[in-house]
């Protein structure tokens, strides 16, 4: 598959966005362009929003091929890097609306955790929300989306390419609920 020119332009702009740079304890150190943070192996802040429908199904979506990390992978959470000067809460609401077109919903914060893989070092804030309305996918970031059971998402995560950071967020969410 080839990358759509609009996706490529979105990726280039995204790499230049300034994001929050933090230390191992989530203390803000400053801001850096997203690509520089990644290239230098530094830690950023990220949000993960698990979107459920009222039947308890989880929205999973497939990332576009232009994404810097995990291109074409399935994702169990909307979300993204926390912008410079932005709070976790504001980032979560912004990302959910940008990626899936879901705005004005109550976001429930669950917890923060540190995720650390080469090229993907993050302090992560996990949220959940419930939505039964239509989705409006951001074409530069999301190829398709669907609601499935949490069990199906976990099973698919064993055999299909799923983002490891959002799967970790799902496990943290479940643990916070005693599941």
pLDDT in tens, 144-153: 999 999 999 9
Tell me the CATH class for 5-176: alpha beta
pLDDT classification of 3: cutoffs 50, 70, 90: low
**Residues 58, 81: Cα–Cα separation, whole Å:** 21
Q: Where are the domains of the chain?
A: 5-176
Give the chain's mean pLDDT.
93
Q: Within 13 A of 172's CA, how many CA atoms are on the CB side?
A: 25
Q: What per-residue confidence (pLDDT) applies to 74?
A: 98
Nearest to 141 by CA among 76, 49, 61, 32: 61
pLDDT > 60? residue 36: yes
**Residues 4, 43: Cα–Cα separation, whole Å:** 29
pLDDT classification of 130: cutoffs 50, 70, 90: very high
Give mean pLDDT, residues 113-125. 95
- Residues recorded for the chain: 179
Q: Is 11 exposed, middle or buried (0-12, 13-18, 19+ CB in 10 A)?
A: buried
Q: Is 60 exposed, middle or buried (0-12, 13-18, 19+ CB in 10 A)?
A: buried
| pTM for this predicted structure | 0.92
Residue 39 CB neighbours (<10 A): 12
Give the residue with greater pLDDT, 1 vs 89. 89
pLDDT > 60? residue 1: no
CB 154 within 8 A of CB 169: no
pLDDT classification of 127: cutoffs 50, 70, 90: very high
Q: What per-residue confidence (pLDDT) applies to 14?
A: 73
């Amino acid at each position: 598959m080839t990358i759509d020119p609009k996706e490529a332009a979105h990726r280039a702009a995204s790499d230049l966005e300034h994001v929050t740079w933090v230390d191992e304890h989530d203390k803000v150190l400053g801001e850096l362009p997203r690509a520089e943070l990644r290239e230098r192996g530094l830690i950023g802040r990220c949000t993960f929003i698990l979107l459920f429908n009222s039947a308890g199904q989880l929205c999973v979506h497939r990332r576009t091929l232009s994404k810097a990390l995990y291109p074409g992978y399935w994702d169990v959470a909307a979300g993204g890097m926390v912008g410079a000067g932005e709070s976790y809460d504001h980032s979560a609401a912004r990302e959910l609306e940008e990626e899936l077109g879901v705005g004005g919903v109550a976001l429930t914060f669950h917890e923060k955790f540190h995720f650390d893989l080469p090229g993907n070092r993050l302090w992560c804030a996990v949220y959940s929300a419930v939505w039964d309305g239509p989705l409006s996918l951001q074409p530069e970031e999301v190829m398709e989306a669907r609601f499935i059971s949490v069990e199906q998402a976990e099973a698919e995560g064993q055999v299909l390419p799923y983002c490891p950071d959002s799967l970790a967020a799902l496990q943290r969410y479940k643990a916070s609920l005693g599941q």
